[in-house]
Amino acid sequence: MSTPLIRVVRLQYTYGAQTDTPIQALRGIDLVVERGEYLAIVGHNGSGKSTLAKCLNGLLLPTQGDVWVEGRNTGKPETLTDIRATVGMVFQNPDNQIIASVVEEEVAFGPENLGLPRDALRQRVDQALRDTGLWELRERNPRALSAGQKARLAMQPACLVLDEATAMLDPLARREILALVRRLHEGGLSIIMITHFMDEVVGASRVLVLEQGCIALEGTPQAVFAQHGRLQELGLVLPPAAAIARGLRERGAALPEGILNAAELVQGVITVIGTQA
């Protein structure tokens, strides 16, 4: 049996564990992320999403339990460089991650710190600039880029964790980032998307719903969003297309279950109209 990309075992994390007012953010998470998977993680504020994200590449170390990345334990300091080269992160505000004054140098910063040979570094930087559509902007100051363009700067890890990375973007920039994420996933990159936009969850292969530091629901998008009542209890809503389809079904429209996106909704409506003609 091959080693999973990420394995989380009975993970607990407590902020201020040694203080008089500890806050337990994660309460015994068990999780396996396979290579090439597209995992979406949702939950209302305070559910533990961002804490889990930071535990996945060693930015936070478990209070109890273990996180393994390609067989390396995040609790061992000597493994952290390799772990962070494997699991890259994009946060909500990309400005907080920008270091260099030139886009090309910013893209090179992470791989360069991994000690890559010059030829390999040059190849990786050029490829990353082309893949993200930033080649023509490679000599610009990264702080002069749009928010969506800033969010494209990454290290080409094996797994990319996006922690609310689209939260501060306008709709056009969001679409650009989601399209880029899809292309990266199709190219073999593992994706972990942490978001509060339900429409961003639709493209995932699996959805994890957190509540008070625990896994409340898990399954395919279709399976998770079919549990509308439970989602309401958790303070979550359906993706817009799914909500519209549900409303139409309640009014008598013979739409199929499992509609999650606009294309499926349109096709369902066309089918219903065709059968009534």
Q: With respect to residue 71, please indicate whether it lies within any of the assigned structural domains.
A: no
Paired residues of 159 in beta bridges? 87, 190
Residues 47 and 146 in one domain: yes
Residue 252's region, left for phi above 0, alpha for psi from -120 to 50, else beta, is left
The structural domain count of the chain equals 2
Q: What is the pLDDT of residue 96?
A: 55
Q: Which two tokens stand for residue 38?
A: 């597209």
The CATH number that applies at residue 103 is 3.40.50.300
The answer on 182 and 242 residing in a single domain is no
Q: Above 60 in pLDDT, residue 270? A: yes
Same-domain status, 85 and 141: yes
pLDDT of residue 179: 86
156 and 199 together in one domain: yes
Q: Per the domain annotation, does 262 fall within a domain?
A: yes
**Percent of the chain scored above 90 by pLDDT?**
49
| 52 φ, ψ (degrees, to nearest 5) | -60, -45
Q: What span, in angstroms and rounded, lies between the C-alpha atoms of 172 and 126?
A: 25
What per-residue string of b and e applies to 176-188 under the rule 16 or more CB within 10 Å gives b?
Answer: bbbebbeebbeee
Please tell me whether residues 138 and 206 are part of one structural domain: yes
Whether 255 is in a domain gets the answer yes
| pLDDT average, residue stretch 257-269 | 91
Residue 227 within a domain: no
% of residues, the chain, pLDDT over 70:
82
Tally of CB atoms within 10 A around 158: 17
Query: What is the residue-averaged pLDDT of the chain?
Result: 85
Residue 192 phi/psi, 5-degree rounding, is -125, 110
Q: Is the pTM of this model over 0.85?
A: no
CB 239 within 8 A of CB 231: no
228-233 mean pLDDT = 93
Closest CA to 56 of 188, 208, 222: 208
**Residue 3 per-residue DSSP state:** P
Task: Give the model's pLDDT for residue 122.
Answer: 79
The pLDDT-based confidence of 272 (bands split at 50, 70, 90) is confident
pLDDT at 154 over 60: no
Q: Between 131 and 152, where is the model more confident?
A: 131
Ramachandran sector of residue 89 (left: φ over 0; alpha: ψ -120 to 50; beta: rest): beta
Residue 208 sits in the same domain as residue 271? no
Asked if residue 167 lies in contact with residue 11, where contact means CB atoms within 8 angstroms, the answer is no
Domain span at 253 = 238-277
Q: Residues 50, 187: one domain?
A: yes
Among the ranges given (56-60, 141-145, 195-199, 237-241), the one the predictor scored with the smallest mean pLDDT: 141-145
Per-residue model confidence as pLDDT tens digits over 41-87: 999 989 999 999 999 999 999 999 999 999 999 999 999 988 988 89
In the numeric block, the tokens 């000690």 are attached to 115
The tokens 């898990």 sit on which residue? 218
- Is there a single domain that holds both residue 118 and residue 245? no
**Residue 244 maps to a domain:** yes
Strand order through the sheet with 38-42: 87-90, 159-163, 190-194, 38-42, 206-211, 214-219
d(CA 275, CA 277): 6
